[in-house]
Amino acid sequence: MKKKYKLLLNTKFTKKISSLAIYSPAVAEIVDGNVDIILVGDSLGTTLYGMRNTQSVSLSMMKAHGKAVIKNIKKSFTMIDMPYNTYKNKNQALRNAQDLLRYTKAKMIKLEINEKKLEIVKHLSKNNINVVAHLGVTPQDYKDFSKIKIKGKNQNEINILKNLAVNCEISGAKAILLECITEKAAKKITSTVSIPSIGIGASKNCDGQILVFDDLINLKIGKKKPKFVKKFLDFEKLLKNAVKKFSQEVREKKFPSKKYSYH
């Protein structure tokens, strides 16, 4: 039976949920209110710092970027990632989650979850932490992103993912994020749980979608994009043209003109 709405932090979403992962105050001001949820993701490791994976992203990095972004957000919900190795057990997870949320003022925290981490979801939820459970492909488990494979290709994998999603809801998760799973798996999970499902590479069968802002505008220049990335703006082309024009005007002594000089 189709659910009439999804409930997330006491807000009724009657339409699909839109979400973007961003990392800077300037982008925050542009995006705020134009998407439902803004994530400060640990993907900043690969996107901003050129890391091969997200395993070297630290809690201090997430705190710094999280605070810079979230102080400029007034309308959208805010969510932030717990970085790798900062929630190895429930006590460490609670201590670091409280620190991260207190410092950044984010409303929700996202953790990459497997069966062993359900206890952490339950413990955080009991301590009034709004948890979003990240299922399917969990990037923090990979040193080499080229080794990532789609999840939910057979019925056994679908059942495992579905059961994990159900247990996340039972443990108190406010939403689930599904990454790189098949359409069939996404449909089964979304129709089974009553909390929202947000997909990235998980088909339109989810209750919402998330992309990395830099992917959306094609800012990660020269890098191969995953199949699920749609380029909504070719910023690479615009940027190259702007830089070429700047260089040309400097060489031709057109910039700075009197208009851009002090008198």
Positive/negative CA dihedral, 44, 38, 175, 60: positive
Identify whether residues 66 and 186 lie together within a single domain.
yes
Identify whether residues 126 and 250 lie together within a single domain.
no
pLDDT at 223: 67
Residue 27 identity:
V
Identify whether residues 11 and 127 lie together within a single domain.
yes
256, pLDDT greater than 50: yes
Domain assignment of residue 73, yes or no? yes
Domain assignment of residue 64, yes or no? yes
Identify whether residues 149 and 254 lie together within a single domain.
no
pLDDT at 125: 97
Identify whether residues 242 and 228 lie together within a single domain.
no
State the residue range of the domain holding 246. 234-263
1, pLDDT greater than 60: no
pLDDT-derived band at 13 (thresholds 50, 70, 90) equals low
Identify whether residues 40 and 132 lie together within a single domain.
yes
Q: What is the CATH number of the domain that holds 213?
A: 3.20.20.60
Quote the DSSP letter at residue 181.
Answer: B
Identify whether residues 207 and 240 lie together within a single domain.
no
Identify whether residues 90 and 191 lie together within a single domain.
yes
Mean pLDDT of the chain: 93
Q: What phi-psi label fits residue 128: left (phi over 0), alpha (psi between -120 and 50 degrees) or beta?
A: left
Domain assignment of residue 1, yes or no? no
Domain assignment of residue 63, yes or no? yes
The answer to whether the beta carbons of residues 125 and 109 sit under 8 Å apart is no
pLDDT, one tens digit per residue, over 149-196 is: 999 999 999 999 999 999 999 999 999 999 999 999 999 999 999 999
Catalytic residue flag (residue 252): no
Domain assignment of residue 216, yes or no? yes
Identify whether residues 44 and 131 lie together within a single domain.
yes
Q: What angle do CA 203, 195, 121 make, to 5 degrees?
A: 105
pLDDT at 231: 85
Of residues 6 and 59, more confidence is placed in 59
The number of domains in the chain is: 2
Identify whether residues 146 and 244 lie together within a single domain.
no
Task: Write the DSSP string, 35-81.
Answer: BSEEEE-TTHHHHTS--SSSTT--HHHHHHHHHHHHTT-SSSEEEEE
State how far the Cα of 246 lies from the Cα of 252, in Å rounded to an integer: 10
Identify whether residues 114 and 89 lie together within a single domain.
yes
A 10 A CB-CB count for 92 gives 13
Query: Exposure string (b/e) for 98-125, b if CB count within 10 Å is 16 or more?
Result: eebbebbebbbbbbbbeeebbebbbbbb
| Residues, the chain | 263
Domain assignment of residue 256, yes or no? yes
Identify whether residues 107 and 67 lie together within a single domain.
yes
* Entry pTM: 0.91
Q: Among the options 115, 157, 169, 179, which is catalytic?
A: 179
Q: Which two tokens stand for residue 2?
A: 């189709």
